[in-house]
Amino acid sequence: MRYLLVEDNLALAKAVLDRLSLDGHVVDHAVTLETAQDYLSTADYDLILLDIMLPDGDARTLLKSYRMAGGKTPIITITARSEVSDRVGVLDLGADDYITKPFDFSELEARCRAVIRRQGGMANNIKRFGNTQFDPLAGTLTVASQRVQLRNRELRLLEIFINSKDQLFSKSKLVDRLFSYEDDVAENAIEVYVGRLRKQLEGSDLNIVTVRGMGYRLSVS
Amino acid sequence: MNGHVTATRSIRRRLIVRLLASAAILAVILFLVVQSFGRQLAQESQDNILAASVTSVLDAITVQDGALIVDIPYSAFSMLGNISDDRVFYRIEQNQVYLTGYEDLPFTTARSTKSQPAFATDHYLGEDIRLVTASRKLSLNNQPSVVRATIAQTRNGQKQTLRQISQTVLFLGIGFFAIAMVLTFYAAQSTIGPLRRLAASVSRRGPQDLRPVESPVPSEMVPLVRSLNQFIGRLKKSLSQSEEFIAEAAHRVRTPLATVRMQAEVTLRRVERDENREALREMIRAIDESSRAAGQLLDHAMVTFRTDHLLVETFDFRVLVDELVTRLRPIAELKEIDLRWQKGAPLLIKGDAILIQNAVRNLIDNAIKYSPTESSIKLTLSQDRSGAILQLMDQGIGFPDEGFELLTDRFVRGANAHDTIGSGLGLTIADDVANAHGGCLELKNNAEGVGACVIFYLPLR
């Protein structure tokens, strides 16, 4: 997917950029309102992440003018303020959600997913593998014309595999991606979710292969 | 908040005392003036009759065959008798030699003629008398001769008249004072009126109402109201600066933490060696702990600050909870936690929406944090006669059996909560907010099964 990130804190922006790129997303980064305007007038985005306090002004003006001009792309604002009135004001101006600094990436990911799903999603995001179609936004899997509804962790696990097909994931890496760091999760907890996902993928051309002593890998037959 | 104000004597009482004193002095002066005028009038009327009487006596004196004939006409005394039952005396002398009447009756030696009698007040036979003396020149045996007549009358009638006048004037004075008293109270009341209205309009305001006073006031009060408005302005500025400061502090603390966390996460994705990965995980946990603590400290500071200045408005509690649930659902879903919530009927309450939102968010946050994966949190909002009840039931570890009441203290965490990151401020914030609104926070464990039950109660008022 294509993201526009408008954030003046370069270190934070770089971290978000790196993180989104790792998942295979394309991200443009604007530091000022002006460059953000330029990007918006030249490209179409699937999602906009917008910091409110920018060096050349309050990004709420951009939010307002973008919506007035008929812009439909979902927008999540990034704010460090704990004032609820600020956040609510942002929603009134046309933002779809807001996230408060500091956020952990899984929260950002979850919010992005929720916002895009609410928008109805884009058909071009559906991925096809043989007899299997995967709609990451709706969280549905279609195996041989049979629709399967995935639960949150199954969905995220499948996304991790699909975004890096044929890559080998160790259990500990999957644990880091799937669980928040608050929980002290035993590595074999991941086996439960791999087991469930395999069950959902029964009869599909997608297979999760166990590499003994190393981890798991997704393969398309 | 309420400082002690030293009160001196009230303006109203001062006004009343002064106006009443003036009215009393005026009433006494009125009494004296009218009384003396009345006395003068009574005196004059007696004098006029006495003068008429003495004139008629003198007129009746005739000379016949060289002798003086004094024939006192009946009318001379009857006109005096008209007034009252006062006694009348007379004395007539010729060339200062006693002729007839009461020989020892006093008389005035002031110059007098027939047309210009002289008056005097004296005592005779133990009574006050008013006397008039007039003289007439006659020619007797070709000799000029002066006849002097004195007529006196006791003053009982006049005294009675005077008493009547005094009584009437006294009533007049008292009446005047009574009317003045009524007017005084009215005047004092209407003078104090604008002050009272100003005080009422300022004290009726909510603490968040920091608009300047704009209603018209009498010109004498303009300096007071002007300084009051300046004071309100300064207060408003310092309040908004405090709020700005809290927001700014949040920004300063949170942004770098967000950066470090994100970078640690990215690094974790790239690092292969297990000991490095464990170190990074530890790092992320520490960052989470401090960022959460920073967030909650700021929440707590905001709550403490705002509980002194509650911004009370009427809003739908159900909508507030609904928005929070919608917002927190993606977070709950990360742990496959089902937030069970039925929106239900509107429930209007009065309170500080920002504070209540903060409190409820902390409660739901807490519930998500302490809930195991693939569990559910049930939220119910209900209303009894006196208040709104928000109940959260989770399927987590519940509260420890001991030290329930301490959990709402700052930085106190449950004895069984060591595995989870937390600052120990979430329940404190919710408790403070509930208390500030006259409500309470109740903690218990579910009667059936596992998990905690938190009840957040707000009175409807």
Question: Which three-class secondary structure string do you get for chain B?
Answer: CCCCCCCCCCHHHHHHHHHHHHHHHHHHHHHHHHHHHHHHHHHHHHHHHHHHHHHHHHHCCEEECCEEECCCCHHHHHHHHCCCCCCEEEEEEECCEEEEECCCCCCCCCCCCCCCCEEEEEEECCEEEEEEEEEEEEEECCEEEEEEEEEEEECHHHHHHHHHHHHHHHHHHHHHHHHHHHHHHHHHHHHHHHHHHHHHHHHCCCCCCCCCCCCCCCHHHHHHHHHHHHHHHHHHHHHHHHHHHHHHHHHHHHHHHHHHHHHHHHHHHHCCCHHHHHHHHHHHHHHHHHHHHHHHHHHHHHHHHHHHCCCCEEEEHHHHHHHHHHHHHHHHHHCCCEEEECCCCCCEEEECHHHHHHHHHHHHHHHHHHCCCCCEEEEEEEECCCEEEEEEECCCCCCCCCCHHHCCCCCCCCCCCCCCCCCCCHHHHHHHHHHHCCCEEEEEECCCCCCEEEEEEEECC
Contact criterion met (CB < 8 Å) for B354 and A85? yes
- The answer, for B287 touching chain A at a CB cutoff of 8 Å, is yes
- The answer, for A184 touching chain B at a CB cutoff of 8 Å, is yes
Q: What is the ipTM of this complex?
A: 0.76
Q: CA–CA separation, A74 vs B95, rounded Å? A: 138
A 69-88 → B contacts, CB under 8 A: 80-86
Looking at the complex, report in whole angstroms how far the Cα of residue B265 sits from the nearest Cα belonging to chain A: 8
Distances in Å between the Cα of B8 and the Cα atoms of A122, B5, B13, B189 are 77, 10, 11, 18
pLDDT of residue B271: 86
A 116-135 → B contacts, CB under 8 A: none
CATH number of B13-163: 3.30.450
pLDDT of residue B22: 92
Looking at the complex, report in whole angstroms how far the Cα of residue B244 sits from the nearest Cα belonging to chain A: 9
pLDDT of residue A28: 92
Q: CA–CA separation, B291 vs B258, rounded Å? A: 8
The token pair that represents B184 in the structure block: 């005084």
Residue pair A127/A136 in contact (Cβ under 8 Å)? The answer is: yes
CATH number of B310-461: 3.30.565.10
Contact criterion met (CB < 8 Å) for B251 and A105? no
Structure letter (DSSP) for residue A140:
E
Looking at the complex, report in whole angstroms how far the Cα of residue B275 sits from the nearest Cα belonging to chain A: 12
pLDDT of residue B126: 86
Percent above pLDDT 90 for chain A: 18
User: What is the three-class DSSP state of A148?
Assistant: strand
The answer, yes or no, to whether the previous bond of B144 is cis (omega within 30 of 0) is no
User: Which segments of chain B have a pLDDT < 70?
Assistant: 1-3, 82-84, 206-209, 247, 250-251, 402-405, 410-423, 461
pLDDT of residue B389: 94
pLDDT of residue B1: 44
Residue pair A94/A66 in contact (Cβ under 8 Å)? The answer is: yes
The token pair that represents B81 in the structure block: 């008798």
Interface mutation target, options B240, B291, B334, B338, chain A, most CBs of A under 10 Å: B334
Looking at the complex, report in whole angstroms how far the Cα of residue A47 sits from the nearest Cα belonging to chain B: 17
Residue in B with minimal Cα distance to A105: B262
pLDDT of residue A31: 93
pLDDT of residue B423: 62
Q: CA–CA separation, B232 vs B202, rounded Å? A: 11
Contact criterion met (CB < 8 Å) for A102 and B287? yes
B42-54 tens-digit pLDDT: 888 888 988 988 8
Q: List helix spans (H) across chain A.
A: 10-22, 33-42, 59-68, 84-92, 105-118, 152-163, 171-178, 189-200
User: Which segments of chain A have a pLDDT < 70?
Assistant: 80-88, 120-124, 181-185
Q: What angle do CA B356, B360, B363 make, to 5 degrees?
A: 145
Contact criterion met (CB < 8 Å) for A102 and B258? yes
